């Protein structure tokens, strides 16, 4: 319900008006993006009404009820509708980052703001702000249906992410898909080997060699690879630490098990009171068990020299 507070402090009259506007919205136009010219032709709305604040224009001739909260799925639905309205339907699918987001991988801000990636046939030309058109051929086996939205299958999506994103981002994205069980490295490798004509295969195999399905966050993945890139041994992911009786003390993001060195990524959620208290109790227990805890932030990943030096020093002392 939409409320507008009047000068006299009463919102009743304007609340009723807002409710009437909602009820007057044609059922066909309440929830999904729609083609404006088609809605006008069908008598659902007038051109003048389309120009009102009741509707939001997403792409040329594509609108949505302004009361609808926009997420990336709504933008994808609108992009597919826009492309179809312009005569392009076959061999087209939501792909790359957008496909991964629809599969549940959080590669965009929480509000879903970000361009829609759409793979189209090589001869297709799509020009619209908010759409990244990638020209590439899609076989029928590359396509899946996601509640009326055509998108690339998980294996093609992972392949595209691995060959198009920057290296750390690519590894993190594929890690996330593996961790959620959306696909497996074996399935992705089989797909890549079955498509020898697609460019970027060598880089993709290099990315796959660095993935780890145990990684539980994008930043944890970036941290792991940053450590390896710094010339240090590759740490293990999500290591369980137990006491002499086999009781679980805690689990750490990354670890050198033999040296009893744990590396923990501290995201913003660790500042929440409950999380902070649980982390503190866990770290105290790990320290009491003889473990060294190295806590890392996003700044350390962006500028890793001091972090790498710190880890290197502890590894050297542990092996001395």
Report the number of distinct structural domains present in the chain.
3
CA distance 86 to 2: 35
Does some domain include residue 2?
no
The neighbour count for residue 170, using CB atoms within 10 Å, is 25
Q: What is the mean pLDDT of residues 110-116?
A: 78
Q: What is the mean pLDDT of residues 263-273?
A: 71
Domain that holds residue 149: 72-208
- CATH label of the domain that carries residue 250: 3.40.960.10
Does some domain include residue 213?
no
Tell whether the model's pLDDT for residue 8 goes beyond 60: no
Does some domain include residue 306?
yes
Q: Residue 241 gets which letter from DSSP?
A: E
Same domain, 133 and 156: yes
Does some domain include residue 127?
yes
Which of 189, 208, 227 marks a domain boundary?
Answer: 208
CA distance 79 to 115: 10
CA distance 54 to 2: 12
Does some domain include residue 4?
no
Does some domain include residue 298?
yes
What's the pLDDT at 1?
Answer: 30
Which of 208, 239, 270 marks a domain boundary?
Answer: 208
Q: pTM for this one? A: 0.84
Same domain, 182 and 238: no
The neighbour count for residue 177, using CB atoms within 10 Å, is 24
Same domain, 297 and 223: yes
Does some domain include residue 1?
no
How far, in whole angstroms, is CA 112 from its chain's centroid?
A: 9
Same domain, 150 and 92: yes
The neighbour count for residue 146, using CB atoms within 10 Å, is 14
- Tens digits of residue pLDDT in 173-186: 999 999 999 999 99
Closest to 95 in 3D by CA, of 34, 143, 57: 143
- Predicted confidence band at 244 (pLDDT cuts at 50, 70, 90)? confident
Does some domain include residue 6?
no
- Tens digits of residue pLDDT in 284-301: 889 989 999 999 999 999
């Amino acid at each position: 319900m939409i409320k507008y507070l009047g000068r006299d402090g009463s919102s009743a009259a304007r609340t009723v008006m807002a409710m009437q506007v909602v009820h007057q919205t044609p059922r066909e136009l309440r929830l999904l993006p729609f083609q404006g010219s088609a809605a006008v032709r069908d008598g659902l709305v007038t051109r003048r009404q389309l120009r009102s604040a009741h509707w939001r224009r997403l792409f040329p001739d594509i609108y949505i009820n302004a009361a609808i909260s926009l997420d990336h799925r709504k933008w994808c639905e609108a992009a597919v509708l826009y492309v179809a309205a312009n005569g392009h339907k076959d061999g087209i699918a939501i792909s790359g980052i957008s496909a991964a987001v629809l599969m549940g991988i959080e590669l965009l801000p929480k509000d879903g703001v970000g361009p829609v990636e759409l793979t189209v046939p090589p001869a297709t030309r799509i020009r619209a702000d908010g759409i990244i058109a990638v020209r590439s051929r899609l076989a029928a086996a590359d396509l899946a249906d996601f509640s009326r939205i055509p998108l690339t299958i998980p294996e093609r999506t992972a392949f595209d992410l691995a060959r198009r994103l920057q290296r750390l981002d690519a590894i993190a994205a594929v890690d996330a898909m593996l961790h959620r069980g959306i696909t497996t490295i074996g399935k992705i490798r089989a797909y890549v080997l079955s498509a020898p004509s697609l460019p970027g295969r060598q880089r993709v195999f290099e990315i796959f060699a660095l993935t780890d399905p145990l990684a539980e966050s994008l930043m944890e993945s970036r941290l792991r690879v940053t450590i390896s890139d710094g010339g240090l041994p590759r740490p293990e992911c999500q290591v369980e630490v137990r006491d002499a009786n086999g009781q679980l003390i805690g689990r750490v993001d990354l670890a050198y098990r033999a040296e009893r060195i744990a590396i923990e990524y501290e995201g913003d959620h660790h500042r929440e009171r409950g999380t902070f208290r649980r982390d503190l109790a866990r770290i105290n227990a790990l320290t009491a068990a003889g473990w060294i805890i190295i806590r890392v932030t996003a700044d350390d990943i962006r500028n890793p020299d001091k972090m790498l030096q710190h880890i290197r020093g502890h590894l050297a002392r542990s092996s001395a």
